[in-house]
Structure 1
Amino acid sequence: MYTDSMFSLERFREEYNVEETRYQVAGLSFDFFVPKKIDPFINQDDLFTNFPLWSKIWEATAVLSFHLSTITPDPGKRFLEIGAGMGVAGLVGAKLGHSMTITEYNTDAIKFARANAVLNNIDTVDIRELDWNNPLIEGKFDYIIGSEVVFKEKDILGLHQLFQRYLKPGGTIILAEGMRKTTMAFVKHMENHYTLAIKKQTMKSNGKEIPIILFKLT
């Protein structure tokens, strides 16, 4: 399982009101802790600042998770997941055999990711805090991955700088995003700096069809 001398699953259960959800991808089954309610993470005086987007397993995360199963594991290749939320895609990737570093800025989300690593007996993953505007982790990566990380246009430049800092020469960026105005702004910015391959997929959720764009930037 995930090992961290400072992390306690017992304290996690005491701190958070959680439920477990079953998640299946590429023939593998996982159980993930998710919050029963998001109210404790919402600032009632300012609903839109730091809204807990991390507390949901997004459809784009399912698309990214499955795509990781199409990449042949190579112990010499390093993956960096950004904006990982509760760690779902990164933990799937680690279970598939990828060398995965999972990062997130929100403290609560990091605790959920660590608890989910323990729950799924995954000890081959590094879970770290990463502030896109003040990135402190070291090293470069062969892949940078993420799902639903392009919510605000103001983050696009920061993402570009993050890619420049952490992507190895010849590396690949793989992102899964919903169809939004900011997604198109992201494409317009990045196509000046990378070769883009774009694939549209449709996910069904609660009777609705949700379009997801899978980006590959090289």
Structure 2
Amino acid sequence: MPGYSTRTLLVHVGGHAFRLRVLSDLQQFSDPDGHGERLGISSAQWSLFGQLWPAGRLLAQAMATANVDGKRILEVGCGIGLASLVLQQRGAEIVASDIHPLAEPFLAYNSALNALDSVHYRQMDWDLPLETLGRFDMIIASDVLYERGHAALLADVVERHAQAAAEVVVSDPGRGNSAPFSRHLASLGFSVTESREALEGEPDIPHGRLLHYRRDERATSVTAP
């Protein structure tokens, strides 16, 4: 990619090998037209989307075995998009989203790198409603609760885009903001189960928690104003 140094990773998820083009390190930055700055992405945050983080691998592992039959799925803050690639490989109906202007070309490149059709992508700012996106049976995300205000913002995304009966799956490395997010989702009728998870090939090293929220149609009728 022009202006960037990249490298290719080989990652195994659910018995399949995925090749990923990622940024070489956290020092990569190029925003010549100021697009990222206008979106509120600072130079310190710029390269974060282009890394494969442990929480992203945990979410991808969960999606390798999740029941996705007949479900429309949204990945929020997809970054490099490994979980979306896993779902695309499984034939799921997946839409990936992020605010970063380079997330889409990186995801398209990595789809091709793995001989997959391009994952459907929508740029999303959590502050702004995106009515044409529609509603989903499952919403997934990894390590998106790294600032205090993100809990309420992500809950708003869930409220706008989750079906009456829906699941939300979040892999969280433990940054301290999952409790307010869980409270927000409880007010929307979701219950939560939590499990500690390790990465494939590293069974003795916990890498975070998997938060699995569920809501049925009866819960939405109870919580509706």
| Pairwise same-fold verdict (TM > 0.5) | yes
Alpha-carbon contact 1:22-1:29 (below 8 Å) kept? yes
Aligned to 2:86: 92
Alignment of 1:128-167 (within 5 A): 128-136=122-130, 137-167=132-162
Task: Give the distance between the partners of 1:190 and 1:72, measured in 2 at CA.
Answer: 21
- Map 1:166-205 onto structure 2 (within 5 A): 166-193=161-188, 194-203=190-199
8 A Cα contact 2:3 2:30, kept in partner: no
TM-score of the two chains, using structure 2 as the length reference: 0.80
Q: 1:163, CA displacement in angstroms?
A: 0.3
How many Å separate the matches in 2 of 1:117 and 1:95?
9
Q: Which amino acid aligns with 2:165?
A: G
Give the counterpart of 1:110 among 86, 94, 104: 104
Paired AA for residue 93 in structure 1:
L
**Residue of structure 1 equivalent to 2:221:** none
User: Which range moves more in the overlay, 105-114 or 197-206?
Assistant: 197-206
Q: Match for 1:115: what amino acid?
A: Y
Distance 2:25 2:210 in 1: 29
Please name the residue that 2:209 is paired with.
Answer: 213
1:9 paired residue number: none
Partner-residue secondary structure (3-state), 2:108: helix
SS at match of 1:53: helix
Q: Cα–Cα, structure 1 residues 48 and 195, in superposed 2: closer, same or farther, change >3 Å?
A: farther
Query: 3-state DSSP class of the match of 2:182?
Result: helix
Change (3 A) 1:109 1:205: farther
**CA apart distance, 1:117:** 1.2
Aligned-residue CA RMSD in angstroms? 2.6
User: What are the ranges of 5 or more consecutive residues in structure 2 without an aligned counterpart?
Assistant: 32-40, 215-225
Contact 1:77–1:141 (Cα < 8 Å) also in 2 = yes
**Matched positions, count:** 202
Whether the 8 Å CA contact 1:42–1:52 is kept in 2: the answer is no
Normalised by the length of structure 1, the TM-score is 0.82
- 2:59–2:170: 8 Å Cα contact kept in structure 1? yes
Tell me what 1:33 maps to.
21
Q: How far is 1:205 from its partner?
A: 9.8
Change (3 A) 1:15 1:52: closer
Gaps of 5+ in 1: 1-12
Give the CA deviation at 1:110. 2.4
Q: Per-residue displacement from partner, 1:39-63 (whole Å, max 9, x unpaired)?
A: 23289xx978635321221111111
Q: 1:209 to 1:145 in 2, by over 3 A?
A: same
- 118-127 vs 167-176, which deviates more? 118-127
Whether the 8 Å CA contact 1:203–1:212 is kept in 2: the answer is no
1:95-123 CA-to-partner distances (Å, cap 9, x unmatched) read 02211101110012222112111211211
Q: Hey, what does 1:10 align to over in structure 2?
A: none
Question: Alpha-carbon deviation of 1:212?
Answer: 0.8
Q: Distance in 2 between matches of 1:204 and 1:146?
A: 19
Instruction: Report the Cα distance in structure 2 between the residues aligned to 1:157 and 1:18, rounded to whole angstroms.
Output: 34
Partner letter of residue 7 of structure 2? Answer: E
Give the counterpart of 1:62 among 47, 57, 66: 57
Deviations 1:178-216 (A, max 9, x none): 01222233234433432111111234999x934411011
Mapped partners of 1:150, 1:112: distance in 2: 23
